[in-house]
Amino acid sequence: MEPLALLKSYLNEARRIAFLGGAGVSTESGIPDFRSETGRFRALKEFGDMPETLLSHAFFMRYPERFFTYYKSALLITDAKPNPAHDALARLEKMGKLTAVITQNIDGLHQKAGSVNVLELHGSIYRNTCMSCGERYGVEKIQEGNPVPRCACGGIVKPDVVLYGEGLDEHILNSAVQHIMEADTLIVGGTSLAVYPAAGLIEYFRGPRMALLNKSATPYDGRAGLVIRAPIGETLRTALEEL
């Protein structure tokens, strides 16, 4: 069976789909992947360090002004629009087939497309919290001209994103595991499956149908019943036609 036809059959037969996605879902909306070779080269050239250093908890605490300069230029993108991948997943949820979108992205595009049950493993640029008093702020606080955003109490306002050296939210992680364990179909898209612990979530899947949609090879290609190396947006949009 042709790959797209097989994906259509997966979606047609599915009753409980879990989706696990990464940066490749958002690159089709024009959001660059800071972990890509291009992103790493830019970080090193313009900021003198790799993204893993610039976006680490230790770097944030020691050099907050440098952290925010890089963060605002590389991650704080609010004008992007959902692409066909986001739209297709929102449609699958409305159809009652998709139980959860589990994403490594922090851009909020799944919610903009209409998805409701979105588990953001690495947090969101739209949530920000004062480290001193706990006051919460929207993204506008970070977009202000101050080199380091500060609360009315004087404390630094930290984006609710998971930095290198920080752990994932246990509640969100456990919920993701539960959805994957209960799914009969797992769609993995736009991720190289190289970032842990997110990549390790695949180990919890016990269902009969797993599709891996990514432009490049991943360490888990041999585990999937279907591998499609093509843009995820067009792939999902085509697969949902006449479903």
Each residue's pLDDT tens digit in the chain (243 positions)? 799 999 999 999 999 999 999 999 999 999 988 888 889 999 999 999 999 999 999 999 999 999 999 999 999 999 999 999 999 999 999 999 999 999 999 999 999 999 999 999 999 999 999 999 999 999 999 999 899 999 999 999 999 999 999 999 999 999 999 999 999 999 999 998 887 788 899 999 999 999 999 988 998 999 999 999 999 999 999 999 877
Task: Specify the pTM.
Answer: 0.94
Active site residues: 122
How many CB atoms lie under 10 A from the CB of residue 194?
A: 11
**Where do the domains of the chain lie, and which CATH numbers do they carry?**
3-31+82-122+167-240 (3.40.50.1220), 32-76 (no CATH), 126-161 (no CATH)
Tell me which residue has tokens 């770097």. Answer: 59
- Give the Cα separation of 42 and 74 in Å (integer): 10
C-alpha distance from residue 117 to each of 61, 71, 103, 165 (Å)? 32, 26, 11, 27
| Backbone torsions φ then ψ of 216, nearest 5 degrees | -120, 165
pLDDT at 243: 78
Residue 207 sits at the vertex; the CA angle it makes with 83 and 27, to the nearest 5 degrees, is 20
Q: How many residues does the chain have?
A: 243
Cis-peptide into 197, omega within 30 deg: yes
| Backbone torsions φ then ψ of 231, nearest 5 degrees | -55, 130
Q: Could you tell me which of 51, 80, 26, 34 has the C-alpha nearest to residue 190? A: 26
- Residues with Cβ < 8 Å from 207, sequence gap 6 or more? 16, 183, 184, 185, 186
Beta strands in 22-133 (DSSP E): 98-103, 118-120, 123-130
pLDDT at 154: 97
- Residues with Cβ < 8 Å from 193, sequence gap 6 or more? 22, 199, 202, 218, 219, 220
pLDDT at 87: 98
